[in-house]
A and B are shown apart, each in its own frame.
Chain A
């Protein structure tokens, strides 16, 4: 009988040694009827005599692995069968794969060394459910991971805190599972400050370099581009600070627009009873004409009045009701129509000014219609006060209007 069985996770194989006795033998060894040599693992053999299992130690002795001794003398034609069981290790799995399920209890441990070789798609048919991957992370070091088809990441943290300059091809996620903005730094189509992303064709990313100041985004030949607005736009041409001088002249104005609009904000002079005046191109001739009215919150209104021989233009009102030097929140808006006109209509440039200004706590609302008759385009605008008093504050924002 067997008193030591192979380990439970082993696999048994056996040698069946059969011998017909000549008579008188008390030990057996050597070759059987089929010329197989007797070889067994002591304790893992079974000895049958004429079909009856003998008892080790009582009926026989088996200690050396090659012979059975201590038998009662055999009779001629007695038939002895010795079943020899041996351990063997698993050298390889069948190439056709394992069928069925291997439970956790059947795999108590895996080798501590890394798995080598390749697991092919055919060997991983089907899917691996989450509950089969209860560990929270998978670490793959040193090799690329290719994801065919789509990959879905449902929140969580795949890789947080992307470095400032990730290596090309890296993919970093923030803690919300969204792509980190720095992840694309080196592969981005956007290379320059101000670049805009667009598709130059289906599924073809491209960039548009930033346009120049005042340009607008438009469409040409079916793709976006930056261009100077052809109509409807206002472009800030100059911001002229009104302070520190008696008269202030703008830089040379571009003639590329239709009209000029001047917003004069918070204008003040350094003395009382001043009012703002304009000259174009430094012209002091009597080519200016104007017609003005003024409403006062005091109830005393002025105008309308007009003159066709002025040497400058009033933009607050033509009745010369000045403002207090200390009062603020004055607003003047002047539009100069067709300011680059050099032909026709005697070269007249029409202007319309509206204003709100303060004097001794009383505010006035005024408008001035005026013209400058000159065949030159307006190239510069000079701001000054009626008494050439210094400006103390204000800004004149000069816009070009398409």
Chain B
């Protein structure tokens, strides 16, 4: 695990650095897992979107055609 540093600013413009606590390290790991999961979900979403667009193209349709039919989102 990387040595994480937490910096705390003071009123006079100086700051105090300290290593992450055990609890903060656990939270950092969790934050990374959450972010990675969102990124993966986006990748999967984009892949599904691309596949769907390919299917529409094969049918000679576009996303605008679906919207005209009241289907699909904005």
Residues A284 and B42 in contact in the complex (CB < 8 Å), given A247-B6, A248-B7: no
A residues 118-162 touching B (CB-CB < 8 Å): none
Which bucket holds chain B's interface residue count?
Answer: 20 to 34
Which B residues from 3 to 54 make CB contacts under 8 A with A?
4-11, 13, 15, 17, 20, 24, 27-28, 30-32, 34-35, 38-39, 42, 46
Partner of B31, one of A245, A302, A386: A386
Cβ-defined contact, B38 with A320, below 8 A: yes
Q: Which of A44-98 contact B (CB under 8 A)?
A: none
Q: Are A248 and B28 in contact (CB under 8 A)?
A: no
Bound form: Cα–Cα A320–B10 in Å: 31
B39: chain A residues at CB < 8 Å are: 273, 320, 322
> Which residues of A lie under 8 Å from residue B2 when comparing CB positions?
246, 388
- Of B8, B11, B27, B35, most buried by chain A (CB within 10 Å of CB) is B35
A321 to B39, CA, bound (A): 7
CA distance A390 to B20 in the complex (A): 13
**Given A245-B17, A247-B6, A251-B9, A311 and B35 contact (CB-CB distance below 8 Å):** no
Q: Provided the pairs A246-B20, A387-B32 are in contact, do residues A251 and B10 lie with their beta carbons within 8 angstroms?
A: yes
- The yes or no answer to A249 lying at the interface (CB within 8 A) is yes
Q: Are B28 and A249 in contact (CB under 8 A)?
A: no
**Separation in Å of the A275 CB from the closest CB of chain B?**
8
Nearest B residue to A245 by beta-carbon distance?
B7
Picked from B4, B10, B42, the residue with its CB within 8 Å of the CB of A247 is: B4
Report the nearest B residue to A386, measured CB to CB. Answer: B35
Sort chain A's interface into a size bin: 20 to 34
Query: A384 in the interface, Cβ–Cβ < 8 Å?
Result: yes
Please measure, in the bound complex, the distance between the C-alpha atom of A331 and the C-alpha atom of B46, giving whole angstroms.
Answer: 26
Given known contacts A311-B30, A386-B32, is B38 in contact with A245 (CB within 8 Å)?
Answer: no
Residues of A within 8 A of B31 (CB): 277, 311-312, 384, 386-388
Give the chain A neighbours of B8 by CB distance below 8 A: 248-249, 251
User: What sequence of 0s and 1s flags, for each residue 374-402 of chain A, a beta carbon within 8 Å of any chain B beta carbon?
Assistant: 00000000001011101000000000000
A350 contacts across to B, CB distance below 8 A: none
Chain B residue nearest to A307 (CB atoms) is B38
A384 to B42, alpha carbons, bound, how many Å? 21
Interface contact B9-A246, CB-CB below 8 Å: no
B4, B9, B24: which has the most chain A beta carbons within 10 Å? B9
Q: Does A341 contact B (CB under 8 A)?
A: no
Structural contact, A388 and B30, CB atoms closer than 8 A? no
Contacts of B4 in A (CB 8 A): 246-247, 388
* CA gap between A379 and B6 in the complex, in Å: 17
Q: List chain A residues, Cβ under 8 A from B15.
A: 248
- A178: Cβ under 8 A from any B Cβ: no
CB-contact partner of A245 in B5, B10, B11, B13, under 8 A: B5
The interface bits of chain A over 273-308 (1 if a CB of B lies within 8 angstroms of the residue's CB, else 0) are 101010000001000000000000000101000000
Cβ of A250 under 8 Å from chain B: yes
**Contact sample, A vs B, 20 pairs, CB 8 Å cutoff:** A239-B13, A245-B7, A246-B2, A246-B4, A246-B20, A246-B28, A247-B4, A247-B5, A247-B24, A248-B6, A248-B15, A251-B9, A284-B27, A311-B31, A320-B35, A387-B31, A387-B32, A388-B28, A388-B32, A390-B5
Q: Give the interface of B toward A (CB within 8 A).
A: 2, 4-11, 13, 15, 17, 20, 24, 27-28, 30-32, 34-35, 38-39, 42, 46
Q: A238-B9, A320-B39 are in contact. List 17 more A-B contacts (CB 8 A).
A: A239-B13, A245-B6, A246-B4, A246-B20, A248-B9, A252-B11, A277-B31, A300-B46, A311-B30, A319-B38, A319-B42, A320-B35, A320-B38, A386-B32, A386-B35, A387-B32, A387-B35
Q: Which A residues fall within an 8 A CB radius of B?
A: 238-240, 244-252, 273, 275, 277, 284, 300, 302, 311-312, 319-322, 384, 386-388, 390
Give the top 5 A-B pairs by smallest Cβ distance, nearest first.
Answer: A245-B7, A386-B35, A388-B28, A246-B4, A320-B38
